């Protein structure tokens, strides 16, 4: 990833926030058949490993070796920035369009788990996190489903964990602009309804 110093993201809270806010990662691996990528939600467990699961029918767990390095890409909020957003455009017109975004690349060694306990843990971690966000006290639990049905569903997945070895993050949020042009970009995003990106920019100012 191209990473100028002024866009490097080193704040662990910002990095964790991007991952938590956009847990659907693109998991990329190099194989004998070339590069493959799958999109799956990932969450950190207490040990700091990323936890997830694939469908059993997904060949990734068959063609990627245990211990192989993979790349998980998490993409946060993003949006187009027009030169018209900058007040200084009226003075010298020396601006071009750009794109603001936050992105996190996590590298690590993947290991696949076929035992029922690991699969339950992977599903439990994901559903506890998301159900609390979506349904609060009415959160769905695995125990709500009939036991035989839940076992049938677990038989159709493969759990995995990624032992993290490196994290590289980028926040391209107009930090390189002067305050007037920065504020102009923020206001333009708000007018277009992209409050999320505007909020991320203001948090980095």
- pLDDT reported for residue 187: 96
- pLDDT reported for residue 204: 81
Q: What proportion of the chain, given as a percentage, has pLDDT over 90?
A: 91
77-106: average pLDDT: 91
- The per-residue DSSP string of 141-192 comes to -GGGS-HHHHHHHHTTEEEEEEEEEEEEEEEESSTTS-HHHHHHHHHHHHHT
Q: pLDDT tens, 136-156?
A: 999 999 899 999 999 999 999
- pLDDT reported for residue 196: 96
- Residue spans of the domains in the chain: they are 5-204
- pLDDT reported for residue 92: 86
CA distance 10 to 12: 6
- pLDDT reported for residue 94: 79
Q: Is the pLDDT of residue 89 over 80?
A: no
CB contact at 8 A, 50 and 162: yes
53-64: average pLDDT: 96
> Over the chain, what is the mean pLDDT?
94
- pLDDT reported for residue 93: 80
- pLDDT reported for residue 88: 86
- pLDDT reported for residue 25: 98
- pLDDT reported for residue 3: 95
Class of domain 5-204: mainly beta
Q: Is the pLDDT of residue 4 over 90?
A: yes
Q: For residue 176, what are its two tokens?
A: 């390189």
Q: Is the pLDDT of residue 33 over 90?
A: no
111-122: average pLDDT: 95
- pLDDT reported for residue 78: 97
- In the structure, what pLDDT confidence band is assigned to residue 198 with cuts at 50, 70 and 90? very high
96-103: average pLDDT: 96
Q: Is 66 exposed, middle or buried (0-12, 13-18, 19+ CB in 10 A)?
A: exposed
């Amino acid at each position: 990833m191209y990473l100028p110093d002024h866009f490097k993201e080193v704040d662990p809270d910002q990095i964790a926030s991007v991952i938590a806010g956009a847990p659907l990662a693109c998991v990329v691996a190099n194989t004998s058949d070339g590069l493959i990528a799958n999109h799956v939600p990932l969450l950190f467990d207490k040990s700091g490993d990323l936890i997830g699961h694939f469908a059993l029918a997904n060949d990734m767990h068959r063609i990627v070796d245990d211990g192989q390095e993979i790349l998980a890409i998490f993409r946060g909020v993003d949006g187009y920035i027009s030169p018209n957003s900058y007040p200084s455009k009226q003075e010298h017109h020396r601006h071009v369009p750009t794109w603001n975004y936050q992105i996190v690349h996590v590298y690590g060694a993947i290991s696949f788990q076929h035992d029922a306990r690991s699969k339950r843990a992977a599903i439990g971690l994901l559903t506890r996190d998301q159900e609390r966000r979506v349904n609060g006290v009415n959160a769905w639990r695995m125990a709500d489903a009939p036991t035989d049905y839940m076992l049938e569903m677990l038989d159709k997945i493969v759990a995995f964990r990624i032992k993290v070895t490196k994290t590289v993050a980028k926040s391209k949020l107009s930090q390189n602009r002067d305050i007037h042009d920065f504020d102009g970009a923020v206001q333009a995003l708000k007018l277009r309804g992209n409050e999320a990106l505007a909020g991320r920019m203001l948090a980095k100012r």
